[in-house]
Chain A
């Protein structure tokens, strides 16, 4: 905290603030010209995490289609690269990618996107709430962990930071970012101001009063959130955001995830020190009429894929600095249920996209789907601990090397997805 305060008062900050205060859309101009400015502060690269809430069916996203058991267990949900079976993208002769991931598929071919399959938690809970809690806290057997793993990650970077070091484009702070290090959660960046229609002066005056009040309140939560709010407020001119135009030809889906990623792109291009960004994608709890090539899953997958692809293209010159990792709390039953869907299961899969990712490969240790090889006779077993992937990505991309803090009580090895 002291360090950050020091930074805020430094000359760099003053210079930087002038840049914003002038009302110049200089950051955006630069972004459009694809010219990166020199940072006025220390910053590692940016990790963007997307949480797929509700538990994505990993066996439909990336199907081990050659396993004969899958077809038997999923009479109406089974898919493969065959014309008549949903036309999946054949990844390696064993795994097929759901056709709705069309816009992401090229990155697999370009070796920029890796898939890790059979990922999950060693804790066998099939409760969304618990499984998300464990995955986000990074401590699968300890509910009481107050901080989230991404918050600990930013704490390990070992340098001063701006208030935008960790941002979540969600209306509530995600569990992953709970903790002592500053983090910002906001659904819409345009709300990031003290505003009063028709009376900006009164608003500014009020802002001063509020800052003082929150600075002095004895309530810790209010005090901390207040400090973070005003620090962030000083750096961000909302007027620049309203008029943001993505790169020519890039169209973000008009969906919650599309809008979140678009705003993360704005923050990254503004060079205001984002090191960890977080967004969410919903609707993956497909108990009922999941569909195959079309339907609920396919629609969600398309939105998910198109949002990420748009974001990636929009980043353009910033791509080298950004890695995207997706995650979901668990997978779904290997067999379809009685209502054309799948119930809560164990392992799922995740995607890692970035220029320093060793992509074009499926990292997996998946065996047969025969009933006696399944966990509890029903679920794809967890063969890769989620911490093995998260730690590798964090270590490789953000240059932090302290797994004991990142994932306490875990002594496993990483998965070598990063270069």
Chain B
């Protein structure tokens, strides 16, 4: 354990890429490599590079198309698939973070969840649960904070914030863009959510250990890694899905454990009544434990074969039975079960058919060891831990899985409605290569159907993609990543909080609706005007410090900077018309009049209730007088005076339809 921890922190210090390259090398398969047929389909090399940056990165940085061309676009794609480029900038930005290298055990014993906090407070006599309510709340919280600090505990919010921040930092600055994208994709595919208290402490290690190292490996590897990670085991309840239908249960072993627990509870009664009550509750809980189908259903419906595949409710129940006993090692230091496991010793446990792998624990005493039939395949009795692995293998290699996963990848990288033929080609590769994700992606980009002109630019950026692509396009420096997280949230994507196991839907119609769209426009304006705290950039520097001479010129210059290689003549033309339109002045005045906020107390007071329409009209005209510009021509420059004109233009480009596409 100690070694593992050191190993991990060394890895983090060395940049995390070491680990993924190590695992990748295990899956080397003779491939013909990336050879993209873009020329045949009417793309210049430059356009092809832009397309790749749109789809396989979080957006092009200024000048990045030239960089890709210098490397060669096939070679660039290979590098991205490998994900081994050094990432000094990311490391430097994450160097002050305290949680990223921690293991689960340290996390659950340092960053307590709400339930642990209440127990902690009760244990230290801080509550009396009743006093949490009402007047004492503030005092209670302050006392609690002090005590937690003294005892070495830290707020769980820090853990969550660092998790969110690291995702934003990596997405914005990592040179291994495709690996960041794929980490996002697979996390969403195997979604877990902070909203569920039982799994929230494990999400950081879930992404780091189960997802990130496996994003271009074999599908079965990532499937099993998620199946065995505490986050998934808790999120979909498998950690609590148990059976007493097995040989061990009535033998000495289990009865002995129960008896010991009871004895321990009785002993504790005098010295630690809270602990004793907890233990008794555990004993009680053990008696009503049983099968829970939640994970079994979702592993088939969402993770592998897909809901339309050919399986039955009986299959779901049998898979659930095969996975009984797949659980989490007791990690909390004073958890009653933990001492028992430690006392029993790893060797003893293994003798009894238990398996301990990191924090994954297979509990032979809670596994249903009767015979099962799953998808027509017979599993003889007493299959133990191996049975579950065989089920995972069966699901990972089912032809429906190849189809389902490839369609999802094509939906992510090509189009909301990907070509059936393209998916079929990818699925063939999936099956030929034992589900090798890298090879599947190579098959995708080498396929003529990927380069179909009609489908380019039809994917809509998710809010997260919009935010990160904006940061990249403007070379912005992020000092407060959470500010960007808040914007994602307002636009409809609260990352790490999506409650359903489906993950966020990957289609334009989900992201684009009235409210979300207005917030996308507002984001563009706020961002370009540097109104988002902790996000800094220099728009003029992007244009070599040349200030455009007119709004027209600014439009052309910044459209090309922010949306390189897009066909935007029409876009520019439309906006230019707006800028030159003399009636714009009236439009502004009308709009300003309508929407200017009334004075602070002008809203809901009693007096307002009785105000007549007339008096309010007067107020409105007063507002106009304050503006006082009704008869003067207002142009963008007039509004601007300085760089406001440039930022206004940039804001409109970022909020424009074209920038929402990728």
Contact = CB atoms under 8 A, between A and B. Distances in A.
B484 interface: no
B25 interface: no
B460 A21 contact: no
A211 to B, nearest CB: 10
B289 A130 contact: no
Nearest to B587: A208
A229 to B, nearest CB: 5
B515 A191 contact: yes
The secondary-structure label for the interface of chain B is: helix
B345 interface: no
B598 interface: yes
Interface stretch (A44-52, A170-178, A405-413): A170-178
Given A172-B510, A222-B460, A130 B307 contact: yes
A193 B514 contact: no
A219 B661 contact: yes
B651 to A, nearest CB: 6
Contact of B514 (A20, A186, A343): A186
Interface string A261-296: 000000000000000000000100001100000000
A28 B517 contact: no
B584 interface: yes
A339 B289 contact: yes
A126 B312 CA distance: 11
Contacts of B492: 171-172, 187
A173 B616 contact: no
Contact of A226 (B293, B302, B517, B595): B517
B521 A206 contact: yes
B603 to A, nearest CB: 4
A196 B524 CA distance: 10
Contacts of B660: 222
A202 B639 contact: yes
Contacts of A188: 490, 515
Contacts of B627: 201
B508 interface: yes
A337 B511 CA distance: 37
B550 to A, nearest CB: 16
A53 B195 CA distance: 14
A331 to B, nearest CB: 15
Contacts of A373: none
Contacts of B610: 29
Interface in A180-224: 183-188, 191-210, 212-214, 216-217, 219, 221-223
Contacts of A184: 513-515
Interface string A376-403: 1000000000000000000000000000
Nearest to B521: A210
B378 interface: no
Given A200-B592, A200-B597, A222-B660, A194 B603 contact: no
Nearest to A233: B518
Interface size class of B (residues with CB under 8 A): 35 or more
Contacts of B617: 22
A204 B590 CA distance: 9
A292 to B, nearest CB: 13
A239 B599 CA distance: 10
A206 B655 contact: yes
B522 A243 contact: no
A208 B301 CA distance: 46
Interface string A120-131: 000001111110
A126 B584 CA distance: 56
Contact of B516 (A76, A185, A197): A185
Nearest to B594: A21
Interface in B589-616: 591-598, 602-604, 608-611, 613, 616
B526 interface: yes
A195 B651 CA distance: 12
Interface in B570-597: 570-571, 574-575, 577-578, 584, 587-588, 591-597
Nearest to A132: B500
Contacts of A239: 597-598, 603
Given A172-B510, A337-B291, 11 more contacts: A24-B608, A24-B613, A126-B297, A186-B518, A202-B648, A213-B657, A229-B515, A288-B292, A339-B289, A339-B292, A343-B293
Interface of B: 198, 237, 240-242, 285, 288-294, 297, 301-302, 307, 313, 458, 460, 490, 492, 499-500, 502, 508-519, 521-522, 525-526, 529, 531, 570-571, 574-575, 577-578, 584, 587-588, 591-598, 602-604, 608-611, 613, 616-617, 619-620, 627, 636, 639, 644, 648, 651-652, 655-658, 660-661
